[in-house]
Amino acid sequence: MKHLIGRTHNHTEVYVNLIGSLAGASIARQPRLLALIKDVIRQTDISGDHLRFDRDMGKAVGYSYVVETGEQDNVVYARRVHDSIFTRFVRHGTPKVTQYVSLVLQKDADGKYELQDAWIGPLCPPRPGAELASDQSASRSFWANHAWLLNDEPVQPRTLTKVCPY
């Protein structure tokens, strides 16, 4: 189900699949995220086939659920709903107040952009194994020391494991 989010500063349409995308899952958990995304889109000129960027909103907009981890942390791996690759999760941690909103956009055949993923918090490298993780070593290095807080993140239950899949 495609939902028009709005038009960019340079008049390009941006939409989201609310049912089958990571962005849709994030918006369902944090409905306020959609208004933040609309603000970012409206103020941004975009071009290129694939975009990953964050915006400082100039004020606190929520909490970042990607946290730094250490050896003592209880880390698990699972696939998020609507995702085919594993995400590193930690069961305990404290989210940090953030001013950032991050977006991942892909240009479609009609010249419009699909919002593939979005979250409150600064941009972080794609997860290991992601198609867009061009620098796998930087991606692995970051995610070896960071994880999403598991909290209420919907995951595919049969994918939960303590064994690192990458």
Q: How far apart are CA 92 and CA 46, in angstroms?
A: 37
The confidence score (pLDDT) of residue 154 equals 86
Cα–Cα distances in angstroms (integers) from residue 33 to residues 26, 40, 103, 108, 110, in the given order: 8, 11, 11, 23, 26
Q: CA-based angle 146:147:153, to the nearest 5?
A: 160
Helix or strand or coil: residue 45?
Answer: coil
Confidence of residue 135 (pLDDT cuts 50, 70, 90): low
Helix axis angle, 22-29 relative to 32-43, nearest 10°?
120
pLDDT digits over 88-108, tens only?
Answer: 999 888 999 999 999 999 999
- In the predicted model, what is the mean pLDDT of the chain? 93
56 contact partners, CB below 8 Å, separation of at least 6? 99, 100
- pTM value? 0.89
Residue pair 105/46 in contact (Cβ under 8 Å)? The answer is yes
pLDDT digits over 27-75, tens only?
Answer: 998 999 999 999 999 999 999 999 999 999 999 999 999 999 999 999 9
Q: Where are the alpha helices (DSSP H) in 11-67?
A: 22-29, 32-43
